[in-house]
Amino acid sequence: MDMVKRAFESDLFWSFRHSPVAIISFVVAVTLILAAVFAPLLAPYNPFDPGSLNLMNGFSQPMVPNALTGDSFLMGADDQGRDVFSTILYGMRISLFVGFAAVIFALVIGIILGLTSAYAGGRVEAIIMRIADVQLTFPSILVAMLVFGIAKGFTPVHLRDQMAIWVLIVSIGLSDWVQFARVVRGAALVEKKKEYVEAAILIGRGPLGIVFRHILPNVLSPVLVIATISLALAIIAEATLSFLGVGAPPTEPSLGTLIRIGQGYLFSGEWWILFFPAMTLLMLALSVNLLGDWLRDALNPKLDD
């Protein structure tokens, strides 16, 4: 109860209540996330169950009953007769899962390497940060494709579709850790010079205790900001990879896969197959991004007074 009360009285919550952009993007993001989580309850069809599909429903228009079967679809059906609304709900689950998992993966690697280089300094710092610099010279999508390609080479053929999601997570995460490591290192270098760290040395705390008990909690706010913005980027990266055909398989489509399928029909009149997944991706990425922007401003100590 105490925690809840503190949260509602905090400056962060105050700033949230006074930012319409933050409130709207929060509502949109939470609605989309909840819709994805409860997809099995909300979706009228299960698009992953081939048995329930009827090819006769292919290319049904939105809200118009199919002339052959009489079935009606909210957002129409794709070439295989899958309900676009249902595939979006299920696809968002994959997109969000990959996004969150990739960010957490990048975050853990970034925090550990960032803290290590800041605290150890010297040669360790030089090596870690040079690796980061080198990686920054490649576009992250290229790194992700490289990792994806190598991982695919090592996975047995019959496991490929199952492993695809995990390979996606690792490849996006590995292309993303650099910014976490840099920000954590920068913030930790500032914290390391503060007197409370000296006090911790004096009372006999070892390096691990100092780094994780004292420095880490004090560098988390910038990490939180980057994590939010990275989430949007990871979702987009996943969509890009899937769009290029190196991501989620067509049998379990993510938003990116749906857009890839849809783009073939855009100019032949079946616009809904592309339009609805693309709009969902846009709303998801935009709302998360705007939340990240607001968080960055709200946590900026310069704006306190």
Partner 1 sequence: MALLDIKNMRVEFPGRHGVFTSVNDVSLYVNEGEILGLVGESGAGKSTIGNAVMGLLQAPGRMSEGEVRLNGERIDQLSEIDMRSIRGKRIGMIFQDPMTSLNPIETIEFQLVETILAHLDVSMSEARKRAVELLEQVGIPEASVRIKQYPHQFSGGMRQRVVIALALCVEPELIIADEPTTALDVTIQAQILQLIKDMCKSRKLGVILVTHDMGVIAETADRVAVMYRGRLIELGDTSQIMNAPKEAYTQSLIAAVPPSNKKIDRFPKVAIAESDGSALQDFDLQSHWLGRGSAYETSSGSLLEVRSLRKQFLIKGAIRPSNRKYLDAIKDISFDVKAGETFGLVGESGSGKSTVARVITGIYPATGGEMEFDGHDLINTKNAKEKQQVRQDIQMVFQDPYSSLNGRMKIGAIVAEPMFVNKLAENGKERREIVADLLELVGLGKDAARKYPHEFSGGQRQRISIARALATRPRFLICDEPTSALDVSIQAQILNLLKDLQDQLKLTLLFISHDLPVIRQMCDRVGVMRFGDLVEVSETEALFEHPQHSYTQTLIGRMPRFAK
Please say which residue, 41 or 203, places its beta carbon nearer to partner 1. Answer: 203
Helix (H, G, I), strand (E, B) or coil at 77: strand
Query: What does the chain come to in residues?
Result: 305
Rounded Cα distance between 117 and 123, Å, is: 9
Is residue 303 a contact point for partner 1 (CB under 8 A)?
A: no
DSSP letters of 274-296?
A: HHHHHHHHHHHHHHHHHHHHHHH
Q: Of these, 44, 150, 162, 194, which contacts partner 1 (CB under 8 A)?
A: 194
Q: Which residue has the tokens 């938003």?
A: 255
Please say which residue, 6 or 160, places its beta carbon nearer to partner 1. Answer: 6
Is residue 207 a contact point for partner 1 (CB under 8 A)?
A: no
Measuring CA to CA, how many Å separate 165 from each of 115, 126, 217? 29, 33, 31
Which of 29-37, 209-217, 234-242, 253-261 is the region at the interface with partner 1 (rule: CB under 8 A)?
209-217
Long-range CB pairs of 137-141 (<8 Å, 24+ gap) are 140/175, 140/176, 140/237, 141/175, 141/237, 141/240, 141/241
Q: Of these, 5, 195, 208, 267, which contacts partner 1 (CB under 8 A)?
A: 195
Buried b / exposed e over 192-218, threshold 16 CB at 10 Å, is beeeebeebeeeeeeeeebbeebbbee
Is residue 204 a contact point for partner 1 (CB under 8 A)?
A: yes
Query: How many C-beta atoms surround the C-beta of residue 178 within 10 A?
Result: 23
- Total binding residues toward partner 1, as defined by CB under 8 A: 18
Please say which residue, 130 or 194, places its beta carbon nearer to partner 1. Answer: 194
Is residue 202 a contact point for partner 1 (CB under 8 A)?
A: yes
Q: Of these, 141, 189, 201, 283, which contacts partner 1 (CB under 8 A)?
A: 201
Is residue 50 a contact point for partner 1 (CB under 8 A)?
A: no
Please say which residue, 10 or 69, places its beta carbon nearer to partner 1. Answer: 10
Helix (H, G, I), strand (E, B) or coil at 102: helix
Which of 170-178, 197-205, 229-237, 251-259 is the region at the interface with partner 1 (rule: CB under 8 A)?
197-205
Residue 210 CB, nearest approach to partner 1 (Å): 10
DSSP letter (8 states) at residue 75: T
Q: Of these, 24, 68, 199, 244, which contacts partner 1 (CB under 8 A)?
A: 199
Is residue 160 a contact point for partner 1 (CB under 8 A)?
A: no
**Structure token pair of residue 222:** 């910038």
Please say which residue, 126 or 282, places its beta carbon nearer to partner 1. Answer: 126
Please say which residue, 11 or 133, places its beta carbon nearer to partner 1. Answer: 11
- Judged by the rule CB under 8 A, the positions of this chain that interact with partner 1 are 11, 14, 194-196, 198-205, 209, 214, 217-218, 305
